[in-house]
Amino acid sequence: MDFLNTILENIQHFLTFTGFANATPGHVIMIAVGLLFIYLGIAKKWEPMLLIPIGFGILVGNIPFTPGLQLGIYEEGSVLSYLYLGVVKGFYPPLIFLGIGAMTDFSTLISNPKLILIGAAAQFGIFGAYISATALGFSAAEAGAIGIIGGADGPTAIFLSSKLAPDLMGAIAVSAYSYMALVPVIQQPIMKLLTTKKERLIRMKPPRTVTQTEKIIFPVIGLLLTTFLVPSGLPLLGMLFFGNLLKESGVTRRLANTASNSLIDIVTILLGLTVGASTQATSFLTTNSVLIFCLGAASFVVATFSGILFVKFFNLFLNKDNKINPLIGNAGVSAVPDAARVSQEVGLHYDKTNHLLMHAMGPNVAGVIGSAVAAGLLLGFLG
């Protein structure tokens, strides 16, 4: 009889360790969010490379357990906590930027440098969110971390929030990646709202052929100019331009291939999974997270508005042959290449022979540089 009692006690004891015994409504909500992300990634194909790792990470991070077993991402010594170090210490984002640099073709930007300014204008989204966040009572450092969601660049958002507001990083990262996935949904109505039919039909001059020497010079001069003025952007800009030099030099194809394929894939897996896992219900389901999501949406809207309006303003000073189609203004927010793809789709909707993709890639990659510079500035001011 004692033997049976001991077994029953053991089973009861075991049951206290299970997820069922430790689950809270918060865990259930977060698991539902994770499942939604996975669904959107697979069924709707919205940024599957990001939403599936993050969605699955949310499931991993919200399996209820008894604390103290070195399981959770925030528990010292757990495997997940080691994988999360790349986020906490901020070394995943620069590695991703290396890959982005190695896979990005800056030739449209080089052939038509004035498009770079659209990438600058779209950074108003960051500072619009910054002002709103301070008005809502966030501290300056927290507001800076939240504002960077408007840069539409996940790695930059993680990099800056890990430095300025580590407690908000989970919400900021999930918000940034979610809205990047929703770029087609957010941007299209704004683009249609702000442009006339005549403007949408503007045909831009085809970009000129860029020589390889120019492509090699670009990352070198780009690095020197940007980081001399904003040294705090060095980790991101340095890696971005380095990756691009690997690609364009023509003599380091293997390194460029690794950076733009295996390396960025590995880091994306680790980053997505751990960022997802960092959204534990206990720390994630707060009023602040809801506010961050609202501010993130607002920042994307402001960024799109400012990009398009800037092109319209810029067109006032350009002659008839050099006008810019305002439908590429939205691409000034980073979100490479989704934002440029949106320009192409909306452009084709109104003129089936007007391909804007190549033109939109200019402000799109300029947006990457612009958001990294803005992040560097915020880090310099508030870090």
Partner 1 sequence: MSKKIVAFCLFLYIFTFPTEIKSQGIKDLRINEILVYNTDNYQDNYGEKSGWFEIYNSGYSTINIGGCFLSNDPKNPKKYRIPKTGEHIYLKPQNHLVFFAYNNPTRGALHVNFFIDDTTILPNGKMFIGIYDQSGKFLIDSIYYNLQDQKENISIGKLENTHSSIWQPMRRTTPNATNNIDDVKTRSEIYGEKDPFGVIITITSMSVVFLLLLLVAVSFKFTGNYFKKQNKAKQAPPKKQTNTTPPIQAQNTNEIAAIAMALHLYINDNYHEEEATGFHIQRELNQHTPWENKTLNFRKYPNKK
Write down the least CB distance from residue 321 to partner 1, Å: 17
Burial class (CB in 10 A: 0-12, 13-18, 19+), 364: buried
Write down the least CB distance from residue 230 to partner 1, Å: 7
Closer by beta carbon to partner 1, 116 or else 331: 116
Convert 347-361 to b/e letters by CB count within 10 Å (16 or more is b). beeeeeebbbbbbbb
* Out of 92, 127, 179, 241, the residue judged to bind partner 1 by CB under 8 A: 127
Helix H or strand E encompassing 142: helix 140-147
Instruction: Give the interface segment with partner 1, choosing from 152-160, 269-277, 311-319, 363-371 (CB under 8 A).
Output: 363-371
Integer angstrom CA distances of residue 381 from 90, 132, 168, 377: 18, 18, 19, 6
> Which 148-167 positions form the footprint of partner 1 (CB under 8 A)?
164
C-beta separation of 62 from 36 below 8 A: no
Whole-number Å distance between alpha carbons of 223 and 369:
10
> Which 93-122 positions form the footprint of partner 1 (CB under 8 A)?
105, 107, 109-111, 113-114, 116-117, 119-121
382 in contact with partner 1 (CB under 8 A): yes
Q: Please list, in sequence order, all residues whose beta carbon lies within 8 angstroms of the beta carbon of residue 253, skipping any fewer than 6 positions away.
A: none
Closer by beta carbon to partner 1, 59 or else 217: 217
DSSP 289-335: HHHHHHHHHHHHHHHHHHHHHHHHHHHTTS-GGG---GGGGGGGS--
Write down the least CB distance from residue 153 to partner 1, Å: 14
317 in contact with partner 1 (CB under 8 A): no
Write down the least CB distance from residue 302 to partner 1, Å: 11
| Nearest Cα to Cα of residue 326 among 334, 336, 316, 338 | 316
Whole-number Å distance between alpha carbons of 362 and 108:
5
DSSP 63: S
Whole-number Å distance between alpha carbons of 316 and 338:
28
Write down the least CB distance from residue 249 to partner 1, Å: 12
> Which 247-276 positions form the footprint of partner 1 (CB under 8 A)?
250, 254
Whole-number Å distance between alpha carbons of 308 and 189:
12
* Site track for partner 1 across 50-89, x = CB under 8 A: ----------------------------------------
Write down the least CB distance from residue 201 to partner 1, Å: 15
135 in contact with partner 1 (CB under 8 A): yes
Closer by beta carbon to partner 1, 84 or else 218: 218
Q: Name the token pair of 102.
A: 């190695």
* Out of 357, 360, 365, 368, the residue judged to bind partner 1 by CB under 8 A: 357
How many residues bind partner 1 (CB under 8 A)? The answer is: 61
C-beta separation of 128 from 299 below 8 A: yes
Instruction: Give the interface segment with partner 1, choosing from 16-24, 268-276, 320-328, 362-370 (CB under 8 A).
Output: 362-370
* Out of 50, 160, 259, 377, the residue judged to bind partner 1 by CB under 8 A: 377
* Site track for partner 1 across 196-225, x = CB under 8 A: -----------xxxxxxxx--xx--xx--x
The residue whose two tokens read 């004891």 is 13
* Residues engaged in binding partner 1 (CB under 8 A): 105, 107, 109-111, 113-114, 116-117, 119-121, 123-124, 127, 130-131, 133-135, 139-141, 143-144, 164, 207-214, 217-218, 221-222, 225-226, 228-230, 250, 254, 348, 352-353, 355, 357-358, 366, 369-370, 373-374, 377-378, 381-383
